[in-house]
Amino acid sequence: MFARDDDGVELNAEFSVLASGEHLSLVLESAGGRGAGSRPRNDQYVPALTLLLDRLRDRQAVLVSGVVASARTAHLPEEARSIVPVLVELAAQRDINEVRLQITRAQGRVGLPDGAAKEGNNRKRIELRLAVPGYGLDDAGQLAADLAAPAKPVSNTVLPPADELLHHLTGETILTVAGRPNKILGVQDGAAHVATDRSPKGQPVAVADVQYGLDLLAERGSVRVSVDELGHRSAFVGAILATLPHVRVTPSPATVTLAGPGDEPEADDSHFGELDVLAQVKVRTEQAQLRRLLGQGRDCAPCALCGDEFPVQFLVAAHVKKRAACTDAERRNLRAIAMLACSFGCDALYESGWVTVDETGRIQTVGLDELPAGNLKLRLVHLTGRRCDAHRAESEPYFAWHRKTTFRGNLTSRPRPSTRTS
């Protein structure tokens, strides 16, 4: 895959995202020699690496480790190939180019004999292991697509409210991404009644489920049509999203993407062109609302995990239970479903399952004995056994979900500190 910059220009540097062990890994292919035709292979290695790191920073990603992954160095032990010796929280890095420089400079010595006078190639094939909030091991393809796509001006996206869109489509037959017909029979009592081949008399689909899909599309610019992303009526919601003007639909994986300012829509949108007039700006403000609610109107507030206080713009309203897995009722239970977690590591560690909260409200972490000394281990030692301020009787079921589905460690094998009171 090749990334496009924010002007839509493709960079000549091939990359991929793979599920590797416990992590997602960004693999950037080496530069040099000749590629197809006369152009050097991957000659935009440096700008592409800088761009990818910048987009990972926007997603609050953490560089867990990194190695040279070339065939010539495959025989070396991992520590001899390391180019990211300590955990790097990208959100905390003001100059992403400096991170890129550290990675490329570190490559120069890998594979050279001790005492070599000159540094070698610093455009080698590399593997960067990541923890990215919101992306699990099954999301490698989606993360690659998201990193490759130009940034979209999400705040300027104009989408119609779900109820208006559903009323407008009443009586119409629309097709799912898989090509199956759905007909909207009517909209009442907060639900659209949808007829399919299997249910010709119609089954209800909550308007809120469609609104959630619209909000997600407006916020992220791209939505996968899957149960994990959109709930059990994902096929219908995806079909609704596909009727919008200026979207692109790709079949594998099934994805609906808002077209950029310079993109041409792939299908004729004349049937729904009038929606441009009816639509109102509708972007999901839940994140800001949650921060205000949990921060109680303060300019600064503590992270529920590490306990340190930060300005609210550095705190994330982290969902205790993954938002895509929540029912509509759970998503509306704002005080119990979310907590403030700092963007300096705690949010990423919780989202990726490196830490969790046990039934007593104490923070538990992955096994520390297996981790090398460094910033990651120090961070986890600091968190282990702390009291999570967001744990209460009403939030415990959501923490239990996280322990069962996301946490990477073993709760029963780790003793709980008895002297810590914070």
**pLDDT tens digits, 42-98:** 899 999 999 999 999 988 899 999 999 988 888 899 889 999 989 999 988 888 999
In whole angstroms, give the CA distance from residue 158 to residue 90.
31
Least confident stretch, 135-144, 238-247, 410-419: 410-419
| pLDDT computed for residue 37 by the predictor | 56
Task: Say if residue 275's pLDDT is above 60.
Answer: no
| pLDDT computed for residue 324 by the predictor | 65
Q: How far is CA 124 from CA 13, 36, 108, 180, 365, in A?
A: 12, 19, 9, 47, 34
Task: Say if residue 413's pLDDT is above 60.
Answer: no
The stretch 198-202 carries a mean pLDDT of: 89
Task: Say if residue 260's pLDDT is above 70.
Answer: no
Task: Say if residue 119's pLDDT is above 70.
Answer: no
Question: Torsions phi, psi of 314, nearest 5?
Answer: -100, 10
Task: Say if residue 126's pLDDT is above 90.
Answer: yes
In whole angstroms, give the CA distance from residue 236 to residue 214.
12
The stretch 394-411 carries a mean pLDDT of: 88
Q: Identify whether the C-beta of residue 284 lies closer than 8 Å to the C-beta of residue 215.
A: yes
In whole angstroms, give the CA distance from residue 385 to residue 183.
53
Least confident stretch, 22-31, 73-82, 90-99, 265-274: 265-274
In whole angstroms, give the CA distance from residue 228 to residue 79.
37
Q: How confident is the model at residue 34 (pLDDT cuts 50, 70, 90)?
A: low
| pLDDT computed for residue 231 by the predictor | 87
| pLDDT computed for residue 104 by the predictor | 92
| pLDDT computed for residue 237 by the predictor | 93
Closest by Cα among 377, 373, 341, 370 to 357: 341
Least confident stretch, 152-161, 296-305, 384-393: 152-161
| pLDDT computed for residue 15 by the predictor | 95
Which of 112-121, 309-318, 327-336 reaches the highest mean pLDDT?
309-318
For all residues of the chain together, what is the average pLDDT?
81
| pLDDT computed for residue 114 by the predictor | 66
The stretch 281-300 carries a mean pLDDT of: 59
Residues 212, 213, 219: CA angle, nearest 5 degrees: 90
Instruction: Report helix, strand or coil for 81.
Output: helix
Task: Say if residue 24's pLDDT is above 90.
Answer: yes
Least confident stretch, 5-19, 186-200, 363-377: 363-377
Helix (H) or strand (E) holding 20: strand 10-20
Angle at which helices 234-242 and 162-169 cross, to 10° = 80
| pLDDT computed for residue 391 by the predictor | 95
Tokens 């009816």 found at: 278
Least confident stretch, 187-191, 223-227, 245-249, 405-409: 245-249
Task: Say if residue 111's pLDDT is above 80.
Answer: no
Q: Read off the pTM.
A: 0.42
